[in-house]
Amino acid sequence: MTHWWAGIPPAEVTVPCGGDTHTVRWEAGELIAVEHGDPEGDVTRAAPAGETVPCLELLRTWSRRADDPHVLTLASRGPTDPLDIDIDGLTFDYGAPRRQTEEQTLRLLAAGGRLLDRLQATTAAIWTRRLRIGHAQLETGRPQLEAALYGRVLRTLRTWLGEPQLTVELTMIGPDEARRIVCTAEGGLLAVLSG
């Protein structure tokens, strides 16, 4: 059995950390702070001085947010949909827990480089597995998954077919159902059944 990350090459970003520039690498489905061989020790040593360790904060945020379906709705939908986030200029009009969750997700998306693609791949793999085997969060996560899939399918088909006003109806189907695209004569409507 192949792992979901097979064939996806490693990706790196640089992070200002402790007066130096460090590397955070995604490889084989894992995010690694390259210069931090003892992450727990580094956090412990920084704590008395009230300092943070940005590399390790990125890893912690990744572990908390990688299964957030918002990653798939907020992230870029490809080269023609670049993501440009000024995280410090954003304002949030809702309560602290939701604001913190959204801000953490946006900070991950703002990390840049090919790491964003790897985050989306990780999130998609987590939810693909959950859809296949079941999970307690499916009821709340499914609408976000459908929105993310719809956005990607719509952008792809409009670009591919050269029809910027194309209308699409999308239905998420189970893993054992046949995927198909149905085109109707009424106004260029495409119905897409995708799992």
Looking at 8-137, list the stretches that DSSP marks H as alpha helix, in order from N- to C-terminal side: 39-46, 54-65, 70-74, 96-110, 115-133
Q: What is the pLDDT of residue 10?
A: 93
- Residue 87 CB contacts under 8 Å (≥ 6 apart), including other chains: 103, 106, 107, 110
Q: What is the spatial distance between Cα 29 and Cα 78, in angstroms, rounded to a whole number?
A: 21
Packing angle, helices 115-133 and 138-161, rounded to 10: 120
| H or E element that contains 140 | helix 138-161
Q: What is the spatial distance between Cα 186 and Cα 130, in angstroms, rounded to a whole number?
A: 36
Packing angle, helices 96-110 and 54-65, rounded to 10: 110
The arrangement of strands across the sheet holding 30-33 comes to 11-17, 20-27, 30-33
Place of tokens 């859809």: 131
Q: What is the spatial distance between Cα 85 and Cα 83, in angstroms, rounded to a whole number?
A: 6
Q: What is the pLDDT of residue 1?
A: 47
Tell me the sheet residues that pair with 16: 21
Identify whether the C-beta of residue 166 lies closer than 8 Å to the C-beta of residue 154: yes
Read off the amino acid at residue 64: R
Q: What is the pLDDT of residue 28?
A: 92
* Whether this model's pTM surpasses 0.95: no
Q: What is the pLDDT of residue 189?
A: 59
Q: What is the pLDDT of residue 84?
A: 67
SS3 89: helix
Tens-of-pLDDT digits for all 195 residues of the chain?
A: 468 888 899 998 888 887 889 888 999 999 888 888 776 766 666 666 667 778 888 888 888 888 888 888 877 776 666 666 666 666 555 555 555 566 767 777 777 667 888 888 898 889 888 888 888 888 888 888 888 888 888 888 888 888 888 888 888 877 777 877 776 656 555 566 565
